[in-house]
Chains A and B, each alone.
Chain A
Amino acid sequence: MTLAAQDSIHVELLLEPRVPAGEPVRLRLRAENVTQHAIDLYLRGRAPTLDVVVGRGDGTVVWHRLEGEIIPAIVQLRALRPGERLEVDASWDQRTNAGEAVAPGDYVVEASLLTDGEPLRAPPRPLAIRSAAR
């Protein structure tokens, strides 16, 4: 997709800002055409491919959804009408890529939708994982 198109797409990450430890974190990336004309998206994969990175406040990455993944290098043409939204869901089980449960605490979640160029990135969102005792 073009840079101009990227400017015309509002991208946001939706998630609950506070979740109990051990519970799946449900994530939704929403891309909305905020212009008055249709915009073509060039999305990587047979189905839209969502990347998610969860990190600590100091920048340490604890989970990267596409870490080690090999994705088909195909592009799906998807036209978004004015006001139309594209939503892609994912879930995080609060484990690192190595399979270890993360500790309760404050995290930052970044999400992006792969295209044939620069990904469609949503602004980072904070995530607080709270222990059951709190």
Chain B
Amino acid sequence: MRLKHEAIGILLIALAVSCGGGPDEQATSGDAQAVAAQGQDQLARWFARASPEVLALPDTVLAYIDEAGGRLVFGIEHARAEPAARAALARLGIPDTAFTIEETEPIYQLVTLRDKWRPTINGVQIHFGGYLCSLGFNADHGGDRSFVTASHCTGKQGAVEGTRYYQPTSTVDSTVIATEVEDPTYFRGAPCPRGRKCRYSDSSRALYSTAVASSRGAIARTSGPNNGSLTVTGSFSITSQDNATSSFAVGTTVNKVGRTTGWTQGNVTATCADTNVSGSNITLLCQTLVQNPNGAVVVQGGDSGSGVFQLTGASTARLVGILWGGNGTGTRFVFSPLKQVEDELGALVTTQ
């Protein structure tokens, strides 16, 4: 899938370019002498005229003065871009001996899970109140264009008070991207343990603002599982969703993408476990626990709300749940099965 995104706080790839770079292998000794005769001032004047002209052409990458080699250097993506560049330089009266054109890999802007994304995509950072979570998954609910995140990623857990969400933060973009519309009440009584309140999923739904674009069925993808990278390199497509499973088989491999630990992967170690939430009187019933067999960190604060999925192909996924918590060291995460999310929020369409 081709993603459109708008990067804020962009991390630029470090250019593997040295301004005192290597010699032009094709230059003859006569050329070198001729170039050497051209002063740095002349090069600077040519550069000032040539750089904007050449970089305005399609498939050009960079321009710089190779001071050691005494010439201008223009990077292009492929040989097909060379004639236009040469023509532009000729029009400017810059002699062939004064420049080199070389094929150069294009320079990409790197965007992370914590940057601004429009349309929004699953797995990126969202902000409300004084808190950060992850956008779990975009979903249609009836005619409502929505996203689902954790119930505790709302102003008040288990109540609808119209929590307003920003992406990535209200400081970066003050647009309210969505407003909370569903967060069912926690119940007491059997099968909930005495003195506690319960639900079967830690999930809530927010309705998108009309002007904010969202991409349904796309999960931001980083460079690999459990490597700590937050840089988005592509996406997974949700092509199916599991509306039926509450008890996942132990050993099942699942994944999540969230704003803090990125793409992580582990195996189900406990299924349909009633789970007390630390520091609260909440118990979440029939939850699924996941650990990486090599002990990798799979969750940290800020990953709440991440969609949990199984890979069904190289870049396709089946959505199976929503992550809401983990242990203190981050080696275990807990998720609510999608079936239980839908039992509480209603039917959701999450696929592309």
Instruction: Give complex CA distance A66, B325 in Å.
Output: 13
**A51-B328, A77-B132, A78-B130 known; A71 and B279 CB under 8 Å?**
yes
Q: Which of B131, B150, B276, B324 neighbours the largest number of chain A CB atoms within 10 Å of its CB?
A: B131
Instruction: Give complex CA distance A63, B312 in Å.
Output: 42
The chain B residue with its CB closest to the CB of A66 is: B328
Please give the distance in Å from A98's CB to the nearest CB on chain B.
Answer: 18
Please give the distance in Å from B166's CB to the nearest CB on chain A.
Answer: 12
- Whether the Cβ atoms of A76 and B130 lie closer than 8 Å is yes
- Whether the Cβ atoms of B327 and A70 lie closer than 8 Å is yes
- Whether the Cβ atoms of A72 and B131 lie closer than 8 Å is no
Contacts of B294-348 to chain A: CB distance below 8 A: 299-304, 323-328, 332-334
- Whether the Cβ atoms of B324 and A42 lie closer than 8 Å is no
The answer to whether the Cβ of B153 comes within 8 Å of any Cβ in the partner chain is yes
The answer to whether the Cβ of B84 comes within 8 Å of any Cβ in the partner chain is no
Instruction: Give complex CA distance A42, B333 in Å.
Output: 19
Which of B275, B304, B332, B334 interacts with A74 by CB under 8 Å?
A: B304
Determine the chain B residues whose CB is within 8 A of the CB of A44 once the complex forms: 300-302
Contacts of B268-283 to chain A: CB distance below 8 A: 275-279
- Whether the Cβ atoms of A71 and B131 lie closer than 8 Å is no
Contacts of A11-44 to chain B: CB distance below 8 A: 42-44
Determine the chain A residues whose CB is within 8 A of the CB of B118 once the complex forms: none
Determine the chain B residues whose CB is within 8 A of the CB of A73 once the complex forms: 258, 260, 299-304, 323-326, 333
Instruction: Give complex CA distance A102, B1 in Å.
Output: 59
Instruction: Give complex CA distance A46, B150 in Å.
Output: 12
- Whether the Cβ atoms of B277 and A116 lie closer than 8 Å is no
Encode A49-79 as 1/0 by CB contact (under 8 A) with B: 1010000000000000010111111111110
Determine the chain B residues whose CB is within 8 A of the CB of A76 once the complex forms: 130-131
Instruction: Give complex CA distance A40, B118 in Å.
Output: 26
The answer to whether the Cβ of A105 comes within 8 Å of any Cβ in the partner chain is no
Instruction: Give complex CA distance A84, B44 in Å.
Output: 52
- Whether the Cβ atoms of A66 and B327 lie closer than 8 Å is yes
Please give the distance in Å from B257's CB to the nearest CB on chain A.
Answer: 13
Which of A43, A68, A69, A70 interacts with B301 by CB under 8 Å?
A: A43
Q: Which of B301, B324, B325 neighbours the largest number of chain A CB atoms within 10 Å of its CB?
A: B301
Determine the chain A residues whose CB is within 8 A of the CB of B202 once the complex forms: 72
The answer to whether the Cβ of A94 comes within 8 Å of any Cβ in the partner chain is no
Determine the chain A residues whose CB is within 8 A of the CB of B302 once the complex forms: 42, 44, 73-75, 116
- Whether the Cβ atoms of B328 and A69 lie closer than 8 Å is yes
Residue ranges of B at the interface with A (Cβ–Cβ < 8 Å) = 130-133, 150, 152-153, 202, 258, 260, 275-279, 299-304, 323-328, 332-334
List 24 A–B pairs whose Cβ atoms lie within 8 Å, in order of A's numbering: A42-B302, A45-B279, A45-B301, A49-B278, A49-B328, A66-B278, A68-B327, A69-B328, A70-B278, A71-B278, A71-B325, A72-B152, A72-B304, A73-B302, A73-B303, A73-B323, A73-B324, A73-B333, A74-B301, A75-B260, A76-B131, A77-B130, A77-B132, A116-B301
